[in-house]
Homo-oligomer: A and B are copies of this chain.
Amino acid sequence: MAQRRMMEELSWDAFSSLPLEARAPYFLQSSGRPYHCVIAQQFDRECLDHLCDLATRIRRIAKSKVGMDFLSSLMRNKRAMLYFTQPSTRTFLSFFSACQILGFSPAEVRDTSISSEMKGETKEDTIRTFSSFFDLIIMRTPMQGFAEQMAWMISRTERPVPIINAGSGKDQHPTQALLDIYTLERSFEHTGGIDGKTVLFCGDLLRGRTVRSLSGLLTQYNNVKQIFAAPDCLQIGQDILDMLKAKGIEYEITNDFKGHVKDADAVYMTRIQDEWDTKPGESATMSYKHEDYWFTGDDLKNLSPKGVIMHPLPRRQEISTDCDDDPRAVYWRQERNGMWIRAALIATIFCRDQEITQYYMLNNR
């Protein structure tokens, strides 16, 4: 694997001071497939298209028992560790399910009070221990950059294993961005794909890593307009806007969410991320009209008939439950898409993508 040799030449300080896009190639195999998955920036358009196609094939193969038997034979000789030290339901369960679909035996460490970190072990040693027993490490931590540092560290040992970042701090959550892309692809399958569409982001754009990652990946598509609707205190970071500007991407920032629903092909709602509050109650007492950033049954009539409403979930009041039965509300399907795209990612990391495609061509076409 090309990336391994390359990483060995760089100290962590040298590596981590490279710009994001310069770091991306280090996480790839020489075939161009991802080895580690740590930052959204490592996925180019070709890889995104590959993963979306593969996810759809896996999804269709999985409909039959014989297809599931095929899928679960692929990785039966491998073991995966899910190391989640931050609360999570759907990211955890969709990775767990993706592993099961491919035949992995998943193990989990979620509660560090029952592990050796209690005994003063460093986190580096803990991750290295996982690599002794498992063939894949999927990790979610509250520490920004930690998954990336562990990918760098493990690549230099005698027994490197792939590391997938399932969310690290306020920063990166690359597989969430992948499932969002896959959901947009499926939603616009019959209306020309993602190219040329308008995506309206709403909510806590400042602290939600989901929007930040997706915004970046959307720049790989042609003529996608991005609108950021949020109160000033939760508006998208200037770094994202600078990135869009540098790439010549059309965007808009606004306080008027409701007025822009009619312009959107996809409305992407997000939750107030008050777990990142720096003092108790900070989010709750922010002085803006919270309901202005909620999508309700009334807003459905302003949404294009071919439009979609997305949400990374969990939700609170930002989408009222009376939208749930509308066919344009795709957030439950979006959630399930996470399982398929993660299965596609893992299969690609372990170079089983061609085998799946061959099976699909023979049996499901």
Contact = CB atoms under 8 A, between A and B. Distances in A.
Interface of A: 62, 65, 68-69, 72, 76-77, 79, 81, 84, 87-90, 93-94, 96-97, 100, 105, 107, 109-111, 113-121, 125-126, 128-130, 132-134, 157-159, 271, 275, 313-316, 332, 335-336, 339
Which 9 A-B pairs rank lowest in CB-CB distance, beginning with the nearest? A68-B77, A121-B314, A89-B116, A116-B314, A132-B336, A89-B115, A97-B133, A100-B105, A65-B77
A258 to B, nearest CB: 23
A97 B313 contact: no
Contact of A97 (B62, B79, B336): B79
Given A69-B77, A105-B100, A158-B332, A115 B133 contact: no
Q: Tell which of A69, A125, A271 has the most Cβ of chain B within 10 Å.
A: A125
Nearest to A107: B96
Contact of A314 (B84, B119, B134, B313): B119
Contact of A114 (B87, B115, B314): B87
A87 B68 contact: no
A116 B88 contact: yes
Nearest to A113: B87
A129 B96 CA distance: 14
Contacts of A81: 93
A339 B93 contact: no
Nearest to A317: B120
Given A88-B116, A129-B90, A121 B315 contact: yes
A120 B158 contact: no
Contact of A125 (B77, B118, B129, B313): B313
A93 B159 contact: no
19 contacts: A65-B76, A65-B77, A84-B114, A87-B116, A89-B115, A89-B116, A89-B121, A90-B133, A93-B130, A93-B134, A96-B107, A96-B133, A119-B314, A121-B316, A125-B313, A125-B314, A129-B313, A157-B332, A159-B336
A315 B97 CA distance: 34
Contact of A100 (B69, B79, B88, B100): B79
A205 B114 CA distance: 24
Contacts of A88: 114-116
A97 B182 CA distance: 33
A86 to B, nearest CB: 9
A60 to B, nearest CB: 14
A68 B76 contact: yes
